[in-house]
Amino acid sequence: MLLRTSASLVLKGLARSPNTTARWFSGTTSRSLTSSMSFSTTTTSPGVVQQQQQKIGSLPRFRQRAEAVEDGGEDGNVTRYEQELLTSYLSAGTIEAAEKIMEDMEAKSTPPKAASYNSLIKLWLAQNRFDKAEEVLRRMKSVGRRPNPSSFHFLLTGCVRMGVNEDHFKDIMEDCRSARISPAKLAALSQPFAVRKQMSSKEVDPFVAIKMPPPKAASHQTNPDEQLSAYQKQLAWETRAIERAVEEYRSDVRSLTQMGKAAELKPSKVLLVKWFQPLSQMIEDQQKLFHQRILALDPKNDSTIRSSFDPDAASRLLSEADRFGPYLLLLPADKIAVLTIHETLGLLLTQPDGVHLTAVAMAVGEAVMNEVNYELLRSISPKSSLPSTSQPSYALRRRLESIEEAEDWCKAMVVQLGAMLVAYFKMTATVSVSLVSNRPSSSILSLLTEPSSLPSSSSSSSETESLGENEKREATEEEKTAESVVQREVPALEHLIKKEKNQKTMGMLRCNVHAFRMISNGHNLRELINPRMLPMLVPPRPWKSPREGGYLTISVPLMRTRGCRKQKDILKTGDLTQIYESLNFLGSVPWKINEFTYNVVNTAWSSGGGYTYLPTWENLKLPDPPEDFIQNPEGRRKWRHESSKIQQKNLELHSLRCDARLKLEVAESCLHEDRVYFPHNLDFRGRSYPVPPHLNHLGSDLSRGLLMFADPKPLGPRGLFWLKVHLANLFGKNKIPFEQRVQFVDEHLEEVADSALFPLDGKKWWYEAEDQWQALATCKEIYEALRLPDPSLYETRLPVHMDGSCNGLQHYAALGGDIEGGTSVNLVPSDRPQDVYSSVVDVVTKLIAADVAKDHPMAKRPQGKVIRKTIKQTVMTNVYGVTYIGARDQIANALKDQKVLEEDEIFPASAYIAKITFAAMQQMFTGARHIMTWLSDCATLVSRKGEVVTWTTPLGLPVCQPYRQPRRHVVSTLLQKVTIIEEDDKLPVSTRKQRSAFPPNYVHSLDSTHMFMTSNKCSARGIVYAAVHDSYWTHPCSVDEMNVALREAFVDLHSQPLLHQLLAQLQQDHPEIDFPPVPPRGDLDISLVLQSPYFFQ
């Protein structure tokens, strides 16, 4: 009863809902256990003891022995290499190879460590082979390895999970008693320290301790929010998020003091509650100290009187190292503790290899700053409560308006405060591990008691090359013996120094491996999501000023200004009426979670993943060691290098798993809502973005497949046609006429129906699409429509996309009146869509052939291997200012995916192809190149005068390029010195960045203007409309009408003399500068866009 078994831990950690839990118990338990074991396998880097051994080994008197070791000339070192090899096989789950190594070691009377036998027991149990696991235990005793508490713990939990008969159960318990292992030691392996320290062997019944608790009866727990209106619920989410978390932690602390209730909490939750109380207490103690110091320096500035307390004045009285202190007094200690825990874990759980300390400190500091600003808002009206009406009261509106007065703190202060809180968290957060009481000086004890000395697993290979895999595995497994096992508290957070590729050293923060496994396996990531950043349940507050709009109570700026004060100032002077109208229209579009897609995604994820954006739960297997591993030093080094690469990929897989879980958590929180909304704001170029970051229609294919419009509309006479076009586009068939795209779908209607009916058990035709999850959702809609006698009556919520044809080049061709360029990007009517990427490939192919004829040394390798996919991203980003290095990396990634070159050939080939692609673009788009050069020259002239480039878009939005020469400032914190980059309008202007960024930024401001103009036209027509930059979305029945609106908007935009207007603005702002004339315009008739069917397609 007091002991949670391994099986229950895994099941509770992976089950995300009652449905998912039921699925696990319906027959896939063994597979899930195997996946979980593989998923949670991480490698701990070598500790300080091994580093000292390296130093000793470098001394002259040890060199001769070290050379002998490398030759495999000493039996002891041969055994060490065998143990390393065995550990690698066990980590990879290769049982047969592992058992062969173990037999060889046992034959030499040098049996493996007890931890190796325990790992083999776990592997057999994961395959439901209890008999084999028992055999390992007997074999362990026969070779003189005394089973330890973990050995029996694994067998007992496996016994319960697999329903082994009671006789086996009693036999194992009898063996356990014979080994003099008390029930309390078994219980200590699973129960958290807060409960464990209160237990004795007399209080624990050995037969009860290991039994799984009976399943609770399914019951629907009523959420108090369900009784509120949507408006009240939204307001509660925003205003009570942190308070509810604090109350929950306090309640859990009380539960931990009661033995009967402690077992009801998940181990991961117990661990968090265990960290909360000491962290809150330490923060409170520091608050008292700062309060006393400030009163001693300035008796009138009393922090207990919040209305008159001036933290800025108090900060100036303190030393530089303590200036963050007054800001610590602005919130209660328990609220700061919750913010610190959630922000820190929110970053560390997605990056098991560690996160830059600066990033963690900044995130924690900003979280506290934002909460303080919100508290300032609430302090204006202390009697605030949830309004009973569905609209804000006058008093509430007044409080909302006051949010504009809240200013951000300086970056140095934010980092200092955040780093201090992270340091407190590191000091107080511990995790309990099992250690051997009679070996206090062992290497593993040193490793655990000095975690800050651990190098990163991604450090340079020279630092870890000579260390065996067995020395990097979980420490406690290696050191548990049959003698006395004691519990030791070690830090849950590790601060380490990592050397980057550029040889710079960076401070990193990461979770201790024990804490990481416990939390990541059992913690609901949604608990770490700031509820204020979820989609809204009611339409966003209309934008009325640069700081008034979006969420009901949360301050969200209209523009993400990147710290540019000038940009903030000029926003207040511009006429933003049309911008406000468009953002309000985009934010008012109601969305809904697509339950069909969600159920398929959830099922695929629960069954182990392995789909696009749903990575498999199983880590990649390590490469097989060479057969002459022990005698071949070079082979060992190569194998370790390959293993390190696989381990890095497994870390990346973990990050992808966290991202998938996060999206599913947000989708689940909105699953039963009738409608959700995405408030929008702008970047500094004028492009719009949804504010909620985790799940929105600007996200990946998975995010888009999970979303649909909330309001259905009948397909009408043309809706089914556009649904089929949309599906063909998702399969990459967007280079053929519309009729052929429809024909493609008609030829696969059987596969469409199979995808809709049997998405995971059928032919999986939908998975052949380029955007699989959106394709699956579209298959479902087409199938449902065709089931009706009249498909035009089918009501669908699915959005259909119309995408621009290399939109940046479309704007350049329109600006320059370039007929040839405009034709290649579909500004001119044609019978079939023009593919600019294929045109560039043709030119690149000719240039490569010419170089081959000239015996160019690099031309032969990529000849015949450059396809559309190879250069697509480079062509797309060329007009947005991609650099040569950026283009080379893009092409290298494409070549890796194509798998047409050897790994050592990819880098030189990508460098050559990048140069050839730039040359091809120069030949094809001369008009665009002339305009880009003119824009760059104008930016150079302005920046040389010490000014940043500013302009106003055709809709009246002022834009300011924020690029200045960075000034680094070193801030001392409790953990380390942190270097931050200051953002200040007093810094010198960066001429290089102003020049290179002006052409792409100007074009981005034009494509955002086109999107806003289309938005306003759709709003006037009553069309539901959403946009992802140059991809415009609407219901299938409205596509034709939206197509007219977006073409009219483009013609209206480019019928203006945009470059001449820009020149006039620059001349007005800088009359002392002699700007070059605007490049001459070609003869392209922009009105032809109105008749071009493939302009957006």
Specify the amino acid at residue 497: I
pLDDT of residue 779: 96
Residue 16, pLDDT > 60, answer no
* pLDDT winner (highest mean) among 559-568, 902-911, 999-1008: 999-1008
- Percentage of residues in the chain with pLDDT exceeding 90? 28
Q: Residue 473: how many CA atoms within 13 Å on its side-chain side?
A: 22
Task: Write down the pTM of the prediction.
Answer: 0.71
Residue 1089, pLDDT > 90, answer yes
More confident residue, 886 or 1027: 1027
Q: Helix, strand, coil: what percent of the chain each, to 5?
A: 60, 10, 35
Catalytic-role residue among 225, 624, 803, 937: 803
DSSP assignment of 733-755:
-TTS-HHHHHHHHHTTHHHHHHH
pLDDT of residue 900: 81
pLDDT of residue 18: 32
> Is 676 within 8 Å of 668 (Cβ atoms)?
no
pLDDT of residue 36: 29
- Dihedral sign for Cα 199, 201, 202, 207, please: positive
Chain segment 249-299, per-residue pLDDT in tens: 666 666 555 544 444 556 666 777 788 888 988 998 888 888 888 888 877
Token pair belonging to 322: 């303590």
pLDDT of residue 528: 56
Which of these ranges, 572-581, 812-821, 969-978, has the smallest mean pLDDT?
969-978
**Helix residue spans in 492-632 (DSSP H):** 513-522, 565-571, 577-587, 595-606
DSSP assignment of 782-836:
HHHHHHSSSGGG-EE---EEEEBSSHHHHHHHHHHT-HHHHHHTT-S--SS---H
pLDDT of residue 19: 36
Instruction: DSSP letter for 114, please.
Output: H
Query: Rounded CA gap, 179 and 591, in Å?
Result: 62
Average pLDDT for 110-115 = 86
Q: What is the mean pLDDT of the chain?
A: 76
> Is 545 within 8 Å of 583 (Cβ atoms)?
no
Q: In which element (H, E) is residue 61 found?
A: helix 60-70
Which of these ranges, 84-98, 438-452, 733-747, 891-905, has the smallest mean pLDDT?
438-452
Query: Is 681 strand, coil or helix?
Result: strand
pLDDT of residue 33: 23
Read off φ and ψ for residue 679, nearest 5 degrees.
-65, 145
Residue 1031, pLDDT > 50, answer yes
Chain segment 119-176, per-residue pLDDT in tens: 888 888 877 788 888 888 888 888 888 888 888 878 877 776 666 666 777 778 778 8
Average pLDDT for 169-196 = 63
Confidence band (pLDDT; 50, 70, 90) for 925? confident
Residue 817 Ramachandran class (φ > 0 left, ψ -120 to 50 alpha, else beta): left
Confidence band (pLDDT; 50, 70, 90) for 857? confident
> Is 558 within 8 Å of 543 (Cβ atoms)?
yes
Read off φ and ψ for residue 752, nearest 5 degrees.
-60, -45
More confident residue, 79 or 193: 79
Strand extents, DSSP E, 897-955: 950-952
More confident residue, 1014 or 894: 1014
Chain segment 195-237, per-residue pLDDT in tens: 333 333 333 333 333 333 333 333 333 344 444 577 877 877 7
1069 counts as catalytic? no
The Cα-based distances of 507 to 320, 516, 800, 904, 973 in angstroms read: 21, 19, 46, 32, 12
Chain segment 459-501, per-residue pLDDT in tens: 333 333 332 333 333 444 444 444 445 667 788 888 888 776 6
pLDDT of residue 155: 82
Q: In which element (H, E) is residue 355 found?
A: strand 355-356
Token pair belonging to 161: 């999970």
More confident residue, 27 or 437: 437
Confidence band (pLDDT; 50, 70, 90) for 455? very low
Residue 1057, pLDDT > 90, answer yes
* CB atoms near residue 1079 (< 10 Å): 18
Read off φ and ψ for residue 883, nearest 5 degrees.
-85, 170
Average pLDDT for 993-1019 = 94
Catalytic-role residue among 113, 411, 872, 1017: 872
Chain segment 571-626, per-residue pLDDT in tens: 888 889 999 999 999 999 999 999 999 999 999 998 888 898 999 888 888 888 88
DSSP assignment of 334-352:
HHHHHHHHHHHHHHHTT-T
Query: Rounded CA gap, 107 and 1021, in Å?
Result: 84
Burial class (CB in 10 A: 0-12, 13-18, 19+), 187: buried
pLDDT of residue 781: 95
Query: Rounded CA gap, 664 and 594, in Å?
Result: 12
Q: Apex CA 358: angle with CA 357 and CA 364, to 5°?
A: 90
pLDDT of residue 706: 96
167 counts as catalytic? no
Read off φ and ψ for residue 787, nearest 5 degrees.
-75, -25
More confident residue, 713 or 70: 713
Nearest to 337 by CA among 423, 279, 269: 279
Residue 408, pLDDT > 80, answer no
Place of tokens 């991609």: 882
Residues listed for the chain? 1097
Residue 546, pLDDT > 60, answer yes
Q: Which residues contact 305 (CB under 8 A, 6 or more apart)?
A: none
pLDDT of residue 444: 29
Instruction: DSSP letter for 402, please.
Output: G
Average pLDDT for 731-740 = 93
Query: Rounded CA gap, 702 and 776, in Å?
Result: 11
Token pair belonging to 261: 């209730």
pLDDT of residue 503: 64
> Is 728 within 8 Å of 814 (Cβ atoms)?
no
Average pLDDT for 920-926 = 81
> Is 112 within 8 Å of 90 (Cβ atoms)?
no
pLDDT of residue 512: 79
Q: Apex CA 418: angle with CA 414 and CA 421, to 5°?
A: 145
Burial class (CB in 10 A: 0-12, 13-18, 19+), 178: exposed
Query: Rounded CA gap, 59 and 220, in Å?
Result: 68
* CB atoms near residue 1057 (< 10 Å): 13
pLDDT of residue 335: 86
Query: Rounded CA gap, 494 and 500, in Å?
Result: 18
865 counts as catalytic? no
Query: Rounded CA gap, 531 and 534, in Å?
Result: 5
Chain segment 297-323, per-residue pLDDT in tens: 877 777 666 666 777 777 777 777 677
Residues 351-388 as b or e (16 or more Cβ within 10 Å = b): bbbbbbbbebbbbbbbbbbbbbbbbbbeeeeeebeeee
Token pair belonging to 267: 């181990």
